[in-house]
Amino acid sequence: QVQLMESGGGLVQPGGSLRLSCAASGMILNILSMGWYRLAPGKQRELVATISYSGDTNYADSVKGRFAISTDNAKNVVFLQMNSLKPEDTAVYYCAARHHARTSANGDDYPYWGQGTQVTVSS
């Protein structure tokens, strides 16, 4: 089992920045690819960004150029740097992981999920 713990959410004004972190712990015996998803009220879960074990990244069109996903050297912590935040970025952000070298755009392919962290962009 792998446990994921997010942190870094909060309230920010439009145009502001936040940095989310997700720490993986537990039975990290194999490689992990990780990603961030978000869920806003009345909307479906949305892929935000993913990063493969080798560092290949993928972003939703809505966040390209504003968000950046990265990992620490041990690749057990994944970060999401969010800049130029907009009210439509308001959502609960979830970290996800799977034991695979490559990421997937399908959230159902990730067996491990964090509890989520709220991001609210409002003036």
With bands split at pLDDT 50, 70 and 90, how would you rate the model's confidence at 80?
very high
CB 6 within 8 A of CB 116: yes
pLDDT tens for residues 28-79? Answer: 666 778 999 999 999 999 999 999 988 999 999 999 999 999 998 676 899 9
**Other C-beta atoms within 10 Å of 91: how many?**
22
What letter represents residue 28's amino acid?
A: I
For the chain, give the percent of residues with pLDDT over 90: 75
